[in-house]
Amino acid sequence: MKDFVIIGSGFSALISYYFLKKFNIQIISSNNINNNLNNFKSRKNLNINKLFSTKSQSRGDFIYYKNNSFKIHDRLSFGGNTNLWGGFIDIQELSDKTLSYFKEDRIKLEKLNLNTNGYKSNIDTIRQLRDSKNRILDSSKFINNILPGYVHSIQINKGRISIKFFNYTKNQYDFLDTKKLIIAVSFPQLIDLLIRSELINKAKFLTLEDYVHQFKLSFSEHLNIYNNSDFIVKYDLFRALKHYLGYQESIDRFLIKIPMYINQTFYNKKIVGKLKIDYKNKKIIEVDNLNSFGDSIHYCNLKIDNLGINEYISNISKNIIGVSMPFVKQSKPRPISNDIINNFSKKIL
């Protein structure tokens, strides 16, 4: 029996891995080759792929009905969203222990500078996480011994949690027991897992929080801040294209002065998205038609019938710990990587 099993392999799984690797742990994660999941529904409207990113298909039990303004995402791949994210983090909120783990793996904290790497922010302590080859951090390159598998359900027994998962290597369902379970998966995968495990069977509504988010063209290298509580990252033209295409390699050597920029702004204004569960037809239906909800891919603070997900899970078992975005509550618009680390620290350390 394992001390800890971590489901997922994105940034929240990486942080869990760093702090728990001295224990007897196992990481289970679905990879981008999920042909063995044909029994699950294909959800093309949840796919988030870019030209240079590893390709991933969302699969699960529940179909999400939403219009183009309400964006929910799902990546079944080693590394999750770190395959295509910007890698931004605020070093002001990082512990010495976290910094030591990054240093141990030769993960660099690159200062943003429009004249040297093509980025700029209104917050001086924002950095970009890069590996030793100067690529934006992809957590799959730092987590060892990932067990390729798709977790079907969990069962809580006295003194242990039993995990049923499809083992890609064996091409069959398998079981693994653990003392404590760390859930580090996306919102759609979390809901499917809880429903399959019969840990949600009567709830009707799901709510998530996000900050208003916008990309805007600019012709000035200045930030032109209107509200100091907003968070802004300015990209030069080439870095904007780089992120749009999901290209994670460094292009620092390309610094051609073209007075065209993209401002990515996270406004200090929260919006709430509400969804309804239709168990009979296996649908998750949008209730509120909110413009650009989920556009930031930072939606978090999940509530199930107005009960916070952390309390909901704690009422089921103290040995299940959620660390991914649905379990995080942001107090201000910033990179959510900091909140993921702080959320983990409160629960585990």
The reported pLDDT for the residue numbered 291 is 63
Whether the Cβ atoms of residue 17 and residue 194 lie closer than 8 Å to each other:
no
Instruction: Encode pLDDT of 18-62 as tens digits.
Output: 999 999 999 999 986 655 677 899 999 999 999 998 889 899 999
pLDDT of residue 176: 98
CA distance 144 to 347: 23
Contact (Cβ atoms closer than 8 angstroms) between residue 243 and residue 264:
no
Query: What domains does the chain contain, in order, with CATH numbers?
Result: 2-348 (3.50.50)
What's the confidence (pLDDT) of residue 264? 96
Predicted local confidence at residue 14, as pLDDT: 98
Residue of 257, 259, 232 lying closest to 124 (CA atoms)? 232
Structure tokens at 280: 């009979």
73 φ, ψ (degrees, to nearest 5): -125, 160
pLDDT of 226 reads 75
- Could you tell me which residues come within 8 angstroms of residue 39 by beta carbon, excluding any fewer than 6 positions away? none
State residue 71's pLDDT score. 85
What pLDDT does residue 34 have? 59
Q: Is the pTM of this model over 0.75?
A: yes
Q: Which residues of the chain have pLDDT under 70?
A: 32-36, 66-69, 289-291
Nearest to 75 by CA among 238, 195, 246, 197: 246
Q: Are 181 and 154 in contact (CB under 8 A)?
A: yes
Instruction: Note the pLDDT of residue 102.
Output: 96
Q: Report the pLDDT value the prediction gives residue 332, as an integer from 0 to 100.
A: 92
What does the pLDDT look like over 301-325, one tens digit per residue? 999 999 999 999 999 999 999 999 9
Q: What is the C-alpha separation between 215 and 294, in angstroms, rounded?
A: 13
**pLDDT value of residue 39:** 83
Q: How far is Cα 297 from Cα 48, in angstroms, rounded to an integer?
A: 10
Provide the pLDDT for residue 277. 95
- Report the candidate in 159, 190, 225 with the shortest Cα–Cα distance to residue 300: 190
